[in-house]
Amino acid sequence: MGPLSFPAREDSKLEYSNPEIPEGINTSKTHPLKEFLWLTGGVMAAIFALVLILILFADVITSYIPFSVEQNITFSGVEASTEEGPLPEYLQSLADRIVRAEDLPEDMKITIHYLDDETVNAFATLGGHIFFFRGLLEKLPNENALAMLMAHEIAHIKHRHPIRSLGRGVIVGLALSVISTAAGDAIIESFLGKTGYLTILKYNRDMESQADETAIQALNSIYGHLGGADELFKILKEEAGRLEPPVFFSTHPLTENRLYEIKIHTEKHPAHDVTDITPLPQEFEKWVEEKEEEKTISL
């Protein structure tokens, strides 16, 4: 920089003008909604694809985990719940019949547990353990419905759904949390989480449908018909009431669709008359009732 001296010339001839600058040079003309649609659509598609790949990846990994590893994962309190008595024995004998019908591998041992709770539910978990809640057992009208329920849960074990869901959950959850941390915003975190979750739900529904399909085949081979099996879904439908969420947000396929599947199969293999439907043992209700007084199992 030169010395701080004044320029020699007078600036009277210097003109300062102020022309207008046209709009839109520093800004983009893209309509924000268009941008929004492209971005959300693109990112959601990418997340769906990513989660799909991760799910396949998780399935490959979990398929290398032998069933015996699952069995070694013990739950505290689980052993205590397999007591002697007519109900566990009856349930176990039914389970054994279904195991044969579904053609489970030799090493897959099914253990039935009974939970003294109002919840209208049943679930299968790691290591071939299946849990039935009193709330659901109480409502079952015949053996066919119970067998449908049990065959469905055993089918989950057969297709190794519990360990696969666990693997998927861990791998997809990890990947999404890494991405959302990198993106670093609370909004995106929930957006990614939701998109990923919806994708997982889709595959959950596929698992349920697969279990239903196997169960239907098993029931057919045991009883020769599917009469009475639909009672199970009628109970579940009643339980869900009118509050069943839209299919995209649901862990299970719509009960309507499940009933429809059964109906189609029943038409192929109809029960000849009502007597074809196997009743539950006479004391079944009593067994379930009696259980109430016994200890509850803590998991």
Choose the binding region for another protein from 4-12, 140-148, 149-157, 271-279 (rule: CB under 8 A). 4-12
* Interatomic CA distance for residues 198 and 246, integer angstroms: 12
Residues 235-274 binding another protein (CB under 8 A) are 245, 249
Q: Could you say which of 2, 7, 22, 105 contacts another protein (CB under 8 A)?
A: 7
Size of the site for another protein (CB under 8 A): 37
* Interatomic CA distance for residues 126 and 283, integer angstroms: 31
Choose the binding region for another protein from 32-40, 79-87, 224-232, 273-281 (rule: CB under 8 A). 32-40
Q: Does the footprint of another protein cover residue 2 (CB under 8 A)?
A: no
Residues 10-29 binding another protein (CB under 8 A) are 10-12, 14, 16-18, 20, 23, 26-28
CA distances from 64 to 163, 224, 239 (A): 11, 36, 38
Q: Could you say which of 2, 6, 105, 282 contacts another protein (CB under 8 A)?
A: 6
Q: Name the burial class of residue 66, with classes exposed (0-12), middle (13-18) and buried (19+) by CB atoms within 10 angstroms of its CB.
A: exposed
Q: Could you say which of 32, 64, 272, 293 contacts another protein (CB under 8 A)?
A: 32
* Interatomic CA distance for residues 28 and 269, integer angstroms: 65
Query: Minimum CB separation from another protein for residue 260, in Å?
Result: 24
Query: Minimum CB separation from another protein for residue 155, in Å?
Result: 29
Q: Could you say which of 53, 183, 264, 299 contacts another protein (CB under 8 A)?
A: 183
**Per-position x/- string for 186-205, each x denoting binding to another protein as judged by CB under 8 A, each - no binding:** xxx-xx--x-----------
Choose the binding region for another protein from 6-14, 133-141, 151-159, 216-224 (rule: CB under 8 A). 6-14
Nearer to another protein, 22 or 105 (CB): 22
Nearer to another protein, 38 or 75 (CB): 38
Nearer to another protein, 166 or 198 (CB): 198
Nearer to another protein, 3 or 105 (CB): 3
Q: Per residue, what are the HEC states of the chain?
A: CCCCCCCCCCCCCCCCCCCCCCCCCCCCCCCHHHHHHHHHHHHHHHHHHHHHHHHHHHHHHHHCCCHHHHHHCCCCCCHHHCCCCHHHHHHHHHHHHHHHHHCCCCCCCCEEEEECCCCCCEEEEHHHEEEEEHHHHHHCCCHHHHHHHHHHHHHHHHCCHHHHHHHHHHHHHHHHHHHHHHHCCHHHHHHHHHHHHHHHHHHHHHHHHHHHHHHHHHHHHHHCCCCCCHHHHHHHHHHHHHHCCCHHHCCCCCHHHHHHHHHHHHHHCCCCCHHHCCCCCCCHHHHHHHHCCCCCCCC
Query: Minimum CB separation from another protein for residue 19, in Å?
Result: 9
Interface residues with another protein (CB under 8 A) are 4, 6-7, 9-12, 14, 16-18, 20, 23, 26-28, 30, 32-33, 35-36, 39-40, 42-43, 179, 183-188, 190-191, 194, 245, 249
